[in-house]
Amino acid sequence: MVGPLLTRTQRFVRLSSIRWGYVALLALAAAGGAEAESGGDIPLRVAVIYNIVQFVQWPEEGGTGREFQFCVVEGDDLAAGFAVLDNQLLGNRRIRIRGTVAGRLAGCDAAYLPAAAFAAARPREPAMLTVSSGHGLVDQGAMVNLVMDGKRVGFDIGLGTLRRAGLSMSAKVLRLARYVKED
């Protein structure tokens, strides 16, 4: 044998790093040169969301084999960045990005709502992951909330809200969160 076998953790870290790099490269390629300079953190924020979503578990009736509906409510610069995820694989399901309005989230497995739309809608669809971007939204019911901390992308998790929706999240993601609200 040439070297030691990789442990489960090492394989996880290696695969996660590869996925991160792949999604970030796709996002940068889609963003183009001018947009990348003016909104350079958008591909990174989309990549962070994609990686978080990979570690969420939906109820079994969530439907393996059907497409993963990721709904995006327009309203900020990040919403347009999700297009790069359309047709990507999430486990054994293809992601379909669907533009929508805050009141029409039925059938979505996950939904991104800008801060203003989240505050107005307060979505409560069963087994739907809610992702937002703004300060303090986990306290208002968001399950995942991205926050820019200088040039770093951080995130908060609303674990109680996530569990009430019938979802669960890997402890590995919870350890990386800036703040976990358990209720």
Q: What is the pLDDT of residues 34-82, one digit of tens each?
A: 233 346 789 999 999 999 999 999 987 555 558 999 999 988 888 889 9
Show the beta-strand stretches assigned E in 27-67. Answer: 56-57
pLDDT score recorded for residue 89:
94
Enumerate residues 6+ apart whose C-beta is below 8 A from 137.
Answer: 115, 118, 119, 145, 156
- Tell me which architecture the domain covering 8-181 has in CATH: 3-Layer(aba) Sandwich (3.40)
pLDDT score recorded for residue 118:
81
Residues of the chain with pLDDT under 70: 1-39, 61-65, 122-123
pLDDT score recorded for residue 61:
56
Give the whole-angstrom CA distance, residue 45 versus residue 155.
Answer: 10
Exposure of 9 in the CB half-sphere (CA atoms within 13 A)? 1
pLDDT score recorded for residue 161:
92
Give the whole-angstrom CA distance, residue 110 versus residue 121.
Answer: 15
Give the whole-angstrom CA distance, residue 105 versus residue 17.
Answer: 31
Cα dihedral: 111, 168, 62, 140 (round 10): -30
Give the whole-angstrom CA distance, residue 156 versus residue 138.
Answer: 7
pLDDT score recorded for residue 180:
96
Do residues 125 and 108 touch, judged by C-beta distance below 8 A? yes
Q: What is the pTM of this model?
A: 0.75
* DSSP helix/strand/coil, 167: coil
